Amino acid sequence: MLTLSDEEFTESGMAFKRRPLRHAATAFLTHCGSWWELSPSVLVKELQTIPGIGPWSAGAAVADWSNDWSLYPYSDLAVRTWARRANPDHPWPADEPSFARTWRGVTGEHLGTYTLLTLALGCRQAGAV
């Protein structure tokens, strides 16, 4: 990220994420040794101290890295969309906060498993469309 030119970011369609990606790369080089020692939930909070990295990016990145999908921002549009497709008869709320509360209640202690399976369903379906 740090060696890519502004033009390369533009050519790849990532010009709008250039600054946060560079900040994240710099932070990684500075803190990676101590980050390895953090629990995934603490790492999510630590990543949010990087300029331009918010809760969604931090949660998604750490979920992917750690395989702890309970950290994924499960009120995300992808989870909402594919939960509705997987169970269209359930009265899923339309707004993010209400969906998050409902999803948490429905998935219980299996939050991470159901979140990952729902995202995987979406990936499989999106590839078939």
Structure confidence by residue, pLDDT tens digits, 63-118: 999 999 999 999 999 999 999 999 999 999 999 999 999 999 999 999 999 999 99
In a domain? residue 1: no
Report if pTM > 0.85: no
82 and 36 in a common domain: no
pLDDT at 36 over 80: yes
Number of domains in the chain: 2
DSSP per-residue codes, 61-123 = HHHHHH--GGGS-TTSHHHHHHHHHH-TTS---SSHHHHHHHHHHHHGGGHHHHHHHHHHHHH
Residue 92 domain boundaries: 77-128
Mean pLDDT score of the chain: 93
In a domain? residue 72: no
pLDDT-above-90 percentage for the chain: 94
Structure tokens that stand for 89 in this block: 């008869």
More confident residue, 17 or 127: 17
